[in-house]
Structure 1
Amino acid sequence: MKRDRGRGGVVVHPYRGYGSQREAFLMGRVFRQSALSRMIPHHGMLRDVADIVRRIERRGMAGAEVEIRLGANRLTVTTDRDGYFDVHLPLKSPLPQGLSWHVADLSVSHAGEQVHCRTGVYIPPPDTDLLVISDIDDTVMYTGVADKLRMLHRLFVQQAERRTAFPGVASLYQALHRGAGGGAKRPILYVSRGPWCIYEMLEAFFQLNRIPVGPILFLREWGISWRRPWPRRAEDHKHDLITRMLTLMEDMPCVLIGDSGQHDPEVYTRIVKQYPGRVKAIYIRRVDRKPDRERAIQRLRDEIADSDCQLVLAADSATIAVHAHQHGLISQADLVAVREASRDAAL
């Protein structure tokens, strides 16, 4: 947001892509950034407030042509009415072997203006043994979704360095990324109902806290404006994205991580029933101790008791790590690291 130094203009923001050996997907947005006066300092509260206004006031540029090149594969798409482009690129020409990350070149044309940029696309190696899919809000980062006003304040106002990661989360996700052997480099996909305009903040938050950033952050367009101050409904957003990933990754097993505050246990249980044998574990972070909610989660646990998947309701990252180690998902050394990180944070 701040890269234009307040001058405004056309901005192309591609999000990191993902795919398989046969196809690749990536999204992004073309928008016109509102100009800021050069009198506003580059740092401080006044600049932060101005940048929040700019996020809300971003004007998507409909009808822009976006050409994507990934290796020898090319495709041209057009942005929708909100300025977003969603690319499904068949990989007719194979990409270099031995790499997980590939570089996609983008060329955007609109009303005589041209912008060029690049983004990364993650293709899991053929021998990848596990896919990790995680919620963000109140699972990785404390958001407080139960309190809507505070949640909105944290989403739009708090900077990345002032946000709080749950104790032991970085060590736990690093362990799952590495696997029991230490060199797996498993893909971690993050799913959130948050708006795309906080993408930059989330990337900074993950890097500051040394949490594996994963190939993509799956957010959604809220459609917020001064005339429409509340987000558009997104029915089955998380369910649809997870089923899309499981279809793309074919037979690859997965682990699902979420929290007890919203609908993660219900969505994940539904996934277990739809994809028998694919989900190895469901880890749910306990964010409150409401008796009715705990009974509801216990009923969900009973519903999948006959499957190959266990639903673990965990008070902390160390509890999740213990189960993951017992089932061969992380190493002994990483289990110790998660325990130490959780203990140090509690002191």
Structure 2
Amino acid sequence: MPMMFTSITKIIFRIMCWLNVMSLLLFYNLPVHAVDSPIKSDETIIFLPEVGYPLAGGKQWKLRIHGWIYEPDWKSDFSIVFRTVLGLEEYQLAEEKYDSLAEERRKLFFVDNESGKKIPIRVGNKTFVLDESGSNGHFYGELLATTEEITQWRDKQTIRFTAITHDARQFTGTIYLLDAEGISVISDIDDTIKISEVHDKMALLANTFSRPFMPVPNMAEFYQKLAVGELPVTFHYVSASPWQLYPFLTEFLDAYHFPQGSFHLRLFRWKDENFFTLFKSSKPHKIETIESLLKCCPQRRFILVGDSGEQDAEIYATFARQYPERIVHIYIHEVQRKEGDKLDYPAIFKGIPTTQWTVFTEAAIL
């Protein structure tokens, strides 16, 4: 009798162990719908490309996430509101043949931003819940992952992730991985790779909201050359353009064969004085973004590309003096300035070797 009792006990113990193992397996293979998601069927998410980088010691990585959740709320009569609120009343925005394009570009300025949303995402086999979205619908997160996990998740220089939803829709995002050693190309957009004519208000409006985006000639070919090297190369697009234009800018990169990369644009708020203030006050945004990239990856080297229309030369020269061993080269596209005069480059780049900076009007020479 005691022996029989012992045998039964062992059998029960084994069954319990088996059930525990099965429950663990089921837990780690839960379908995405099993995780609670606050994303409603009428809400949309755009994930904005960010970066990930190794922390000191090399055992962990930090992955930055940035997204935007909103409910589309476009009405055709918003076109008038758009022009009034952004201070564009006196300017003719649309050429008749581009009316539908202009309407698409304006839609994201009239959405119902969703606040208080904690978005769950799936990265590899792990689930993370991001910080709560703000009143502007934007949300952020900084995830920690082991180097082993990064190795499993990465596809060359990127990691892809998805939002967890209650339906079949997929909202995917990209993280660009910055290995400890590599090259980062920090690029402006307006008048550096895309013709915007920032110092001509009429042309700026048309080129931003009404006309197809057009590339600065030969810049895509130059960037393709920069993308090939012994060390991994990552591109970072830093611009005063508002986030509402991101979908169209990333389409522009694809259409004209520019390398994709992380995006660092401006938050546009209705309380801004008008649309043009975005371009007038871009210096703090660019300095903060570039400094953040330099500090997160202390061993990487950087190439800085901009134009003479804003303050790119002055900003880049400051960083070249501060980080002389890390700024490999500065390229400045010379464009027509509002004042009609050219910058005094020898004065701007004083103390920086002439072999470290190039001013050009035609990218074909690069």
TM-score after normalising by structure 2? 0.72
Query: Cα distance 1:304–1:285, how it changes in 2: closer, same or farther (>3 A)?
Result: same
The aligned residue for residue 208 of structure 2 is 155
The aligned residue for residue 103 of structure 1 is 160
Per-residue displacement from partner, 1:211-260 (whole Å, max 9, x unpaired)? 1112x1211112148x9643565551011101111112221111100011
* RMSD after superposition: 2.9
Matched, 1:294 2:294: no
The aligned residue for residue 259 of structure 2 is 212
CA separation in 1, counterparts of 2:322 and 2:226?
A: 24
Per-residue displacement from partner, 1:85-123 (whole Å, max 9, x unpaired)? 1222122463125632211122369xxx99752212121
Map 1:1-347 → 2, pairs under 5 A: 9-21=42-54, 22-34=61-73, 45-71=98-124, 72=126, 74-92=128-146, 94-96=149-151, 99-107=156-164, 117-125=171-179, 128-158=181-211, 162-179=212-229, 184-214=231-261, 216-224=262-270, 229-230=274-275, 231=277, 236-288=284-336, 292-295=341-344, 297-305=345-353, 310-319=356-365, 321=366
CA separation in 2, counterparts of 1:157 and 1:9?
A: 28
User: Are the equivalent residues in 1 in contact too, given 2:106–2:209 (CA < 8 A)?
Assistant: no
CA separation in 2, counterparts of 1:171 and 1:73?
A: 39
Query: Cα distance 1:234–1:260, how it changes in 2: closer, same or farther (>3 A)?
Result: closer
CA separation in 2, counterparts of 1:145 and 1:15?
A: 24
User: Are the equivalent residues in 1 in contact too, given 2:305–2:332 (CA < 8 A)?
Assistant: yes
Query: Cα distance 1:48–1:123, how it changes in 2: closer, same or farther (>3 A)?
Result: same
User: Are the equivalent residues in 1 in contact too, given 2:98–2:210 (CA < 8 A)?
Assistant: no
> Across the two proteins, how many residue pairs are aligned to each other?
292
- Per-residue deviation at 1:285? 0.8
User: Are the equivalent residues in 1 in contact too, given 2:118–2:129 (CA < 8 A)?
Assistant: no
CA separation in 2, counterparts of 1:283 and 1:234?
A: 19
Moved more, 230-239 or 142-151: 230-239
Greater RCO, 1 or 2 (C-alpha within 8 Å, sep 6+)? 2
Query: Cα distance 1:114–1:167, how it changes in 2: closer, same or farther (>3 A)?
Result: closer
Aligned to 2:100, the other structure's residue is in SS state helix
Query: Cα distance 1:173–1:266, how it changes in 2: closer, same or farther (>3 A)?
Result: same
Larger Rg: 2
TM-score after normalising by structure 1? 0.75
User: Are the equivalent residues in 2 in contact too, given 1:64–1:79 (CA < 8 A)?
Assistant: yes
Aligned to 2:300, the other structure's residue is in SS state coil
Query: Cα distance 1:61–1:228, how it changes in 2: closer, same or farther (>3 A)?
Result: farther
CA separation in 1, counterparts of 2:118 and 2:169?
A: 11
Structure 1 gap ranges (5+): 1-7, 38-43, 322-347
Aligned to 2:342, the other structure's residue is in SS state helix
